[in-house]
Structure 1
């Protein structure tokens, strides 16, 4: 899965993987490639757990609600889901639009731009700062914490399992806890309308979030929410730059952008895989699995499975029913999916309203990161000549 050719065009590899149905990863576990099998994996948490045993992250506790299984997971979602409902996120559209326009204002008059540092890294982080009620000058701190935890190897120059990278990951995790400890304490003394203040005062059937709960939720949002939206923007913009006819459709008819977001999430599947570990000896997709073994679902393969998606090889912005699982499925379906969709729709809408013409340089060869398909760089040439 770390092959550069696979990361650049995984859709070409998925049919062969689906033909195999499962791929043995030896002692590391089993890889599932078909939509129905992955649905089974994601909708049976009593057998395939999302608990902290999947990855040892260096955090003090499981991240909420991602690494908590039912029934406790349902208690957290009952409190959190209303705070991230479509209606609640709709209230953020104006402020998020302003953030997107502000970034695009700094880009629109340029002839060339690297989309990654100038927009896709900054925009989701600015949105997160707005949600927390924090000033935008905190952005460098957030990006440093995110990168130090998610990709310590890119900073140390050592493999992720090397002691230097592990040390940086643990140091970064401690700094994230310390940072959000201070934010929560400040909101207790001076509450506002930001998301942390809402965490503190929300009560459902007498249940409230503890200090540690809020700390773990904020930690998850930092390390998961920012990177996944950035990666999605990278994949979408590269796709549109390489397919000017599809880009032109969105410029001419912005009403198609919500559909385009769903279709590009399906086709690109920026979050490539999800992992669960077996709580007992079992079987899935005809493959025996031992207790404690990791079972991984390849989301991109599911999202291009002809058994589930009609004409999966066609990228169509007029697709009426889009049953992709880019945000997962089952009880652990992404809590922030409505916010992510809003960010992506706004980003594509505002970018194409201001910068309708762009392309990648002729000799550009994309380099993707693993697991989450974000780009290391995305140089764009802007303007009519594009």
Structure 2
């Protein structure tokens, strides 16, 4: 036994030495001495990111640079972001990725075609059906067949089949009267006032009213003036048929009768228009043809400017013209007179509003000459106090 152990020992030692020589990865490499490498120190390696970690289970790989002279190498390059990644299947890195830096989170990476609207804000887009006209004859909509002949074979009103045509006709007449043909009546006292000026103290009234429906009405108007001592200078009354021709305008036609204590009474045919002009101007314009053949015209316009809910400032303008001279009425041809006034009223109620104001009147042309001939003044300015009411 002893001889056997002595004979095997040299073999075991030789095998261990051979194994140690095979495990040395630097075997056969020229390793310069420390004294030779001292003049050219190598750069300090970066700290080991695995320092302090338990690496007992990891299998170390042989250093491919072991035994190489690395003294002339530049400083260590930044860490490779792909270190440890399997790059064997990657394409040539020389080709630049066209989508580098793009947000590809919404892209389908399974080989489907890229969405051309990816990254666009589509929140305001309507995702409903296309907006096409509703007409059945418009291209893009399915055709619609006409209704069957049986659908039009019955009475015009289906209720006639249930309640009878005669009963429903009476009901429809009642519906029109109560809802679509309402009769109204109104009286408007636009001005009833006293005026004070150099030409004397005077009174004046200007009223109108109507009765009828929304389209057809009977309209009446009355104006007059005189001295405060009781003497009437002149008055007129109009009876008119009025028909609405637009939502804001009425066409009026009728007769006018003038009354003068010191002059001839005159009858006129009247054709006029009355309504609401743009910017809320109330306009009343009419032409008058007398039985004597005299043609005259008058235009009135007024506007309510609300200062408060109850306090209202009203400018008012009036102009009169004549196609010929009328000496007995002291009216000359052309523009005979103009009038401008400003009234401030307070609505105690909507239907009752006293006012104060000032009014200026000027006679023009031959009319002014007639007034001067009898000793009057063509200009007249007066302070007025009055009342506006309606019911």
The reply to whether TM is greater than 0.5 is no
Pick the structure with more strand per residue. Answer: 2
**RCO greater where, 1 or 2, for CA within 8 Å and sep 6 or more?**
1
Please identify the structure whose Cα radius of gyration is greater. 2
Q: With the length of structure 1 as denominator, give the TM-score of the two structures.
A: 0.20
Pick the structure with more helix per residue. Answer: 1
